[in-house]
């Protein structure tokens, strides 16, 4: 009788959901690996035990050396789980999250097996969604990144019932002191990133209050623009692009040959002094193609790519009622806030307008982009709201549509819905 009741009861129970885990992408070196392949930093050290004494971590120091960071010679040992008995491995929801060493000391400090940097707590439990920012030199990547993160923390997160939080205190300090304070408090324009001065990635998490939504890990790699057409430099950073879940492809109006002279003529000599010609946008596409897209199936990538026309405030000089390039009442100059969802009507308006504009002024770029990238949309942003003079921002910084490309990427990655406003 008991067996019969058990069978009836079991049939009425919903099928247990299969535990899910995801390959981990290290947010520091961008290597991709299985969750069982992580290693651990010991939670303590024993001076007279060779295995657990403080020691140099060669892999970690090799990574630090790439960015000009001082080596660390005395740090807790690395524990390889393959040398730990199964009964001393700790799993959560089927994911290896900790180990107990031979002194019964537990550590849950998971490391990337390739660079020995700390992994986010969510690694393996949720998709490792990496957001890359690419573009040629002087396109404004550093300024846009700073304005975007500032906007995500102070505006966007609240609009989507979320929080945008740096991965650790060191990243928070570095972002505040080197980027946010100089720009937003002192109004000082950030210098272009020098490829000889390599910056560690800025890692933030966009965490929703709804626990059913997985957190989104944002990795902003401030790659020097001139490196995007330098083969050796591009190889160094190619992994973070190849393993990205989404791409922000920045385009500067001043790099489009057809309108560069018009803008300089309209605005005078100052813009010519602060904006170099650099590589044209299609040259960056060709570099990306040669490095990793060519090796993909059908030589195309399905990574959602937001094509972002930066410094949109410069286009005020080209606006005209007849709309040869930009109409006076263009969507480009009108700020839009998306709340709780992507406003599909507003998104379609800007997407179609910017694509028409780019087709008119740089058809080869749009053709190259749409041949190699299958999933693109077009946006225009002003990270500052005005054109700086002598490396200084006059007045209050008022970003225009700066988070819209990011919100579209949230939509494409399935984090938010899209709705048409009434």
Residue 117 located in a structural domain:
no
Whether residue 58 sits in one domain with residue 146: no
- Amino acid 4: pLDDT: 45
Q: Which residues of 385-405 are buried (b: 16+ CB within 10 A; e: fewer)?
A: bbbbeeeebeeebebbbbbbb
Whether residue 172 sits in one domain with residue 318: yes
Contact 205, 409 (CB under 8 A): no
Return the C-alpha torsion angle 321, 324, 327, 330, nearest 10: 170
Residue 118 located in a structural domain:
no
Per residue in 309-332, pLDDT (tens digit) is: 998 888 888 887 776 788 888 899
Contact 132, 247 (CB under 8 A): yes
Residue 287 located in a structural domain:
yes
Count the helices and strands in the chain (H runs, E runs).
12, 19
- Amino acid 395: pLDDT: 74
Whether residue 316 sits in one domain with residue 396: yes
Whether residue 199 sits in one domain with residue 97: no
Q: How far apart are CA 378 and CA 402, in angstroms?
A: 13
Whether residue 75 sits in one domain with residue 153: no
Distances (CA, A) of 218 to 84, 129, 130, 299, 380: 33, 7, 6, 26, 21
Whether residue 373 sits in one domain with residue 288: yes
Whether residue 141 sits in one domain with residue 222: yes
Smallest CA-to-CA distance from 247 within 415, 69, 359, 413 is with 413
Residue-number span of the structural domain to which 30 is assigned: 24-111
Whether residue 368 sits in one domain with residue 239: yes
- Amino acid 59: pLDDT: 96
Whether residue 357 sits in one domain with residue 224: yes
Whether residue 135 sits in one domain with residue 107: no
Number of domains in the chain: 2
Per residue in 86-136, pLDDT (tens digit) is: 999 999 988 999 999 999 999 999 999 999 999 988 888 888 888 888 776
Residue with tokens 């300024």: 143
Q: Which long-range contacts (CB under 8 A, 24 or more apart) does 81-89 make?
A: 81/36, 81/38, 81/39, 81/40
Q: Name every residue whose Cβ is closer than 8 Å to that of residue 322 and which is 6 or more positions away in sequence.
A: none
User: What pTM was computed for the model?
Assistant: 0.82
Q: Could you give the count of Cα atoms lying within 13 Å of 146 in the half-sphere of its Cβ? A: 27
Residue 9 located in a structural domain:
no
């Amino acid at each position: 009788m008991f067996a019969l009741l058990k069978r009836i009861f079991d049939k009425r129970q919903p099928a247990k959901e299969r535990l899910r885990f995801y390959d981990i992408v290290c947010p520091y070196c961008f290597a991709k690996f299985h969750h069982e392949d992580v290693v651990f930093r010991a939670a303590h050290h024993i001076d007279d035990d060779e295995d657990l004494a403080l020691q140099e971590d060669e892999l970690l120091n090799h990574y630090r050396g790439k960015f000009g960071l001082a080596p660390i010679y005395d740090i807790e040992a690395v524990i390889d789980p393959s040398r730990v008995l199964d009964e001393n491995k700790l799993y959560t929801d089927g994911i290896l999250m900790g180990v107990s060493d031979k002194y019964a000391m537990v550590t849950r400090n998971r490391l990337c097996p390739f660079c020995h940097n700390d992994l986010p707590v969510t690694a393996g439990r949720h998709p490792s969604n990496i957001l890359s920012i690419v573009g040629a030199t002087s396109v404004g990547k550093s300024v846009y990144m700073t304005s975007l993160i500032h906007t995500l923390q102070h505006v966007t997160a609240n609009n989507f019932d979320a929080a945008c939080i740096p991965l650790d205190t060191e990243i928070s300090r570095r972002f505040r002191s080197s980027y946010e304070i100089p720009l937003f408090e002192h109004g000082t324009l950030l210098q272009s990133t020098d490829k000889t001065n390599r910056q560690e990635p800025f890692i933030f998490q966009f965490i929703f209050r709804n626990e059913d939504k997985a957190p989104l890990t944002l990795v902003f790699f401030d790659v020097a623009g001139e490196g995007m057409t330098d083969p050796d430099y591009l190889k160094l950073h190619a992994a973070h692009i190849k393993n990205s879940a989404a791409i922000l492809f920045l385009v500067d109006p001043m790099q489009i040959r057809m309108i560069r002279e018009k803008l300089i003529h309209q605005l005078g000599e100052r813009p010519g002094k602060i904006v170099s010609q650099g590589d044209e946008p299609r040259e960056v596409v060709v570099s990306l193609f040669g490095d990793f897209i060519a090796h993909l199936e059908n030589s195309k990538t399905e990574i959602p790519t937001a094509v972002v026309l930066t410094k949109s405030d410069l286009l005020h000089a080209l606006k005209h009622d007849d709309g040869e390039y930009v109409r006076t009442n263009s969507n480009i100059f009108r700020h839009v806030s998306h709340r709780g969802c992507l406003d599909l009507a507003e998104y379609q308006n800007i997407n179609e307008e910017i694509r028409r504009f780019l087709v008119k002024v740089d058809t080869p770029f749009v053709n190259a982009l749409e041949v190699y990238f299958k999933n693109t949309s077009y946006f225009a942003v002003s990270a500052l709201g005005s054109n700086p003079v002598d490396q200084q921002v006059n007045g209050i910084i008022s970003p225009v549509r700066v988070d819209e490309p990011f919100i579209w990427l949230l939509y494409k990655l399935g984090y938010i819905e899209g709705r048409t406003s009434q």
